[in-house]
Amino acid sequence: MAYPKTNKIDIADTYFGNTINDPYRWLEDDRSAETKAWVEAENKVTQNYLNRIPFRPAIKSRLETLWNYEKYTAPFKEGDYTYFYKNDGLQNQYVLYRQKDKTKPEVFLDPNTFSKDATTSLAGIEFTKDGSMAAYQISEGGSDWRKVIILNTNDHSIIGDTLIDVKFSGLAWKGNEGFYYSSYDKPKEGSQLSGLTQFHKLYFHSTGSSQKEDRLIFGGEQTPRRYIGAGLTEDERFLVITAAESTTGNELYFQDLSKPGSPIINVVNNFNGDHSIIDNQGSKLYIFTNLNAPNYKVVTVDASNPAPENWKDLIPETDNVLSISTAGGKIFANYLKDATSLVMQYDMDGNLERTVTLPGVGSASGFYAKKSEKELYYTFTSYIYPPTIFKYIIANGQSVEYKKSGVKFDPSNFISKQVFYTSKDGTKIPMIITHKKGIELNGKNPTLLYGYGGFSVSLTPAFSTSNIILLEQGGIYAVPNLRGGGEYGEKWHLAGTKMNKQNVFDDFIAAAEYLISNKYTSKDFLAVSGGSNGGLLVGAVMSQRPELFKVALPAVGVLDMLRYNKFTAGAGWAYDYGTAEDSKEMFEYLLKYSPYHALKPGVSYPATLITTADHDDRVVPAHSFKFAARLQEYHKGESPALIRIETNAGHGAGKPTAKIIEEQADKWAFMLYNMGLTFKL
């Protein structure tokens, strides 16, 4: 491969007496003409390579056919209307519809009209309790920075100003007076896309007023916090505030809005656990927490004396990790049992009423509705069960199929089974393996091993239209539940953080070795894939065990572990990663596995297609740029080391359907081509 020449500039940092060279740092400047020229040159090389793959157009065509069916989300009620999202098939963005009683649904918001290229997306909407107004967020080019527009829902007229510079925020209405939202001061220096965001602030915006008149409610100089969230209890009596320094652990506050001038009360004054107020009955608060309960529980306490020592268990901790929702005056406990859903319905006194009968083993989500509702809607899916929406009658526990997926896929032709394998230190790790029935285990099946392993995120079974491409070719899709995730609670999460992070990589490598030793595949037909923290995972394992994989697909990855905390919200990830400034030991640990630094000259690395986007302000593209430059410099061998840089796109949310299909087609074409395989229709 003839790669573009990437300039090297002498620049270095010193950590605890160690000099670390960083010759590609100039690529961190996403505004420079030099970086722009480099991006264009790299994309040209990548597209020239991809254009040579003879079956790439056929894969794209097949994906378009598979994707072209009506897709719905579960409906929800606001005021006199029922709202739902729908995509006719290949629409770039889902359209928000509404209908009154049994009248014909009407378009309420069509994000496909927000911009000519459909890269401006709807990033959330919240309605007033009476449904007469709505505030919705838009994201331009995939950015985490949002604008907020307020609508009169009756005539679609815009109310007051459009709010700007809103980031990592919900919207919580207080009556029709206005709503609470959170944001940061825009970075004063450097790029708006890569500049460091430090302290969140909670504001109240009064309906019809100017944004500059918004009141600061919490945060700022008095209580500087990196992340601040707000919500109201359904009766709008209590404002609930969570404040955090990182992605794990939060303080908990509330304010009684029924009493004018009431203070903001602190309930939990440390970051040692995660806590939220999920409901109330009068002054009785229902709190979801992992305080002294790594797998979570529900407790109650009176708002007059809310300190943790007064909490009483309502739904105690069990061996399975718990998540919680409320609907129709009931509590729904959604447990993870070996990374699959087990749902139980409780009354508000903590009495178990029933276990919800699910269609099979997989992931059930939803179970939210207002207290007055008699029914709710939930979605069930698995790796071979396309997402299906069910209506659930709360009084008797009956589930009725409401909307079946229209995707052309016959689950009876495929199998998805869970196995447990042993990691390097003897820990048992679950993995779900999915493939066509009757394939021969001869070590020659193209296999995609996908992982994440971080931030307490649980990978539960979910259907993917794109994966049909692999499964139809007799390929295998394998997903292990690595440490660092949340599948077995906070202990499992902590076992993959900071100086335990190598456990995550070891778990992933052991998954690959299991697939090879059991003849599902071999190193010549094995690809690894992951995005964001999963991109770090792929970068780490391909640098540690380059001979184990044929193809590597790191997407929007955190790849420079010494500098990740210098950009956008990166400093908030320190709970999981630690930083190079923490201690000499932490620096040395990060340096050893940091993908950008772990690459070595003269090594034959897997065929690699790095993917990122120029507007990614979550994990800045500089991670991928620098990693690609060094990989191209050091890699020795025939296989390509390419980077695909999407323009006018971000970390992934809101990406138009057309861009998704193009990227997925490129991924599958690159993977099969580098395994010496073809694509058969």
- Residue 640 has a CB neighbour count (10 Å cut-off) of 21
Is residue 591 within 8 Å of 597, Cβ to Cβ? Answer: yes
Instruction: Give the type of residue at 163.
Output: L
| Residue of 532, 543, 594, 624 marked active site | 532
Give the separation between CA 233 and CA 363, rounded to whole angstroms. Answer: 27
Instruction: Give the type of residue at 85.
Output: Y
Residues 6+ apart with CB under 8 A from 309: none
Provide the token pair at 274: 């995660």
Give the separation between CA 122 and CA 114, rounded to whole angstroms. Answer: 9
Task: Look at residues 194, 53, 45 and name the one whose alpha carbon lies nearest to residue 628.
Answer: 45
- Give the orientation angle of helix 622-634 with respect to helix 533-544, to 10 degrees: 10
Helix (H) or strand (E) segment spanning residue 378: strand 375-382
Q: Assess whether 532 carries a catalytic annotation.
A: yes
Is residue 448 within 8 Å of 476, Cβ to Cβ? Answer: yes
Is residue 84 within 8 Å of 100, Cβ to Cβ? Answer: no
Q: Assess whether 200 carries a catalytic annotation.
A: no
- Give the orientation angle of helix 56-67 with respect to helix 657-674, to 10 degrees: 140
Is residue 643 within 8 Å of 655, Cβ to Cβ? Answer: no
| Residue of 205, 435, 493, 651 marked active site | 651
Provide the token pair at 192: 């708006």
By three-state DSSP, how is residue 72 classified? strand
By three-state DSSP, how is residue 83 classified? strand
Give the separation between CA 278 and CA 286, rounded to whole angstroms. Answer: 6
Q: Write out the DSSP string of 158-199.
A: B-SPPEEEEES---EEETTTEEEEEE-PPPSSS-TTTS----
Task: Look at residues 261, 226, 260 and name the one whose alpha carbon lies nearest to residue 245.
Answer: 226
Give the separation between CA 93 and CA 111, rounded to whole angstroms. Answer: 6
> b/e string for 569-602 if b means 16 or more Cβ within 10 A?
bbbbbbbbbbbbeeeeebbebbbebbbbbbbeee
Residue whose token pair is 């040159």: 41
Phi, psi angle pair for 85, to nearest 5° = -100, 145
Q: Are strands 526-531 and 447-450 parallel, antiparallel or unpaired?
A: parallel
Give the separation between CA 456 and CA 189, rounded to whole angstroms. Answer: 33
Which residues are annotated as catalytic?
532, 651
